[in-house]
């Protein structure tokens, strides 16, 4: 199981500069995919346009997914099976603010994915923080003054 600590160690040097251009975010995605094992959950937080889907696509590429990866904003979960591991790509934004949100999650059987045989990447993970497994790798993407660069912060949003 890849742990946040290992990921922190892997990226410590790179993350110190905290100004990632698109190519660097994509390279991070490829390395995360290499490190992933079944049951790895990568929890992404960050505002609209921060690069969550961009990073997710790079992770999918790193797994060798051959299908086109599209944002699951309206479907909540997209599943891809053509890579080294099953890839489950979530965007839980739509669940926020729904009184039925938690019920809907239970119906979707999130835990079957989170504790399953694949790699899960969850966009807007902070909205369902209590459902995310404790050993998930949290990555926060932040806008910077430069529209082409992002700050990348590891760790759960509320403990930063």
Ligand X SMILES: Nc1ncnc2c1ncn2[C@@H]1O[C@H](COP(=O)(O)OP(=O)(O)O)[C@@H](O)[C@H]1O
Part of the chain binding ligand X (CB under 6 A), chosen from 48-56, 61-69, 109-117, 132-140: 48-56
Q: Which is nearer to ligand X, 28 or 39 (CB)?
A: 28
Distant-in-sequence, close-in-space partners of 50: CB < 8 Å, separation ≥ 6: 141, 142, 143, 150
Among 2, 7, 25, 33, binds ligand X (CB under 6 A): 25
CB 2 to ligand X: min, Å = 22
Nearer to Mg ion, 91 or 118 (CB): 91
Q: Does 22 sit near ligand X (CB under 6 A)?
A: yes
Task: Give the position of tokens 């251009």.
Answer: 21
In degrees, rounded to 5, the angle at the alpha carbon of residue 65 between the alpha carbons of residues 25 and 50 is: 30
Strands (E) across the chain are located at: 41-45, 77-80, 87-91, 119-123, 137-143, 150-154
Three-state SS at 94: helix
* Token digits of residue 21: 């251009």
Q: Which does 22 bind (CB under 5 to 8 A by kind): Mg ion, ligand X, none?
A: ligand X
Toward ligand X, which CB reaches closer, 39 or 95? 95
Q: Does 78 bind Mg ion (CB under 5 A)?
A: no
Cα–Cα distance measured from residue 99 to residue 152, given in angstroms and rounded to the nearest whole number = 31
Binding string, residues 87-126; x marks residues near ligand X by CB under 6 A: ------------------------------------x---
């Amino acid at each position: 199981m890849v742990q946040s600590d290992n990921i922190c160690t892997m990226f410590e040097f790179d993350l110190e500069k905290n100004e990632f251009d698109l190519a660097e975010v994509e390279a991070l995605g490829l390395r995360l995919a290499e490190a992933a094992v079944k049951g790895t959950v990568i929890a992404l937080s960050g505002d609209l346009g921060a690069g969550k889907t961009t990073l997710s696509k790079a992770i999918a590429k790193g797994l060798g997914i051959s299908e086109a990866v599209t944002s699951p904003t309206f479907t909540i979960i997209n599943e891809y099976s053509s890579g080294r591991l099953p890839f489950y790509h979530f965007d839980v934004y739509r669940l926020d603010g729904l009184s039925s949100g938690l019920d809907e999650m239970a119906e979707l059987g999130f835990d079957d994915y989170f504790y399953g045989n694949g790699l899960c990447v969850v966009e807007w993970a902070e909205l369902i923080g209590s459902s995310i497994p404790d050993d998930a790798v949290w990555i926060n993407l932040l806008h910077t003054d430069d529209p082409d660069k992002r700050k990348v912060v590891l760790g759960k949003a509320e403990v930063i």
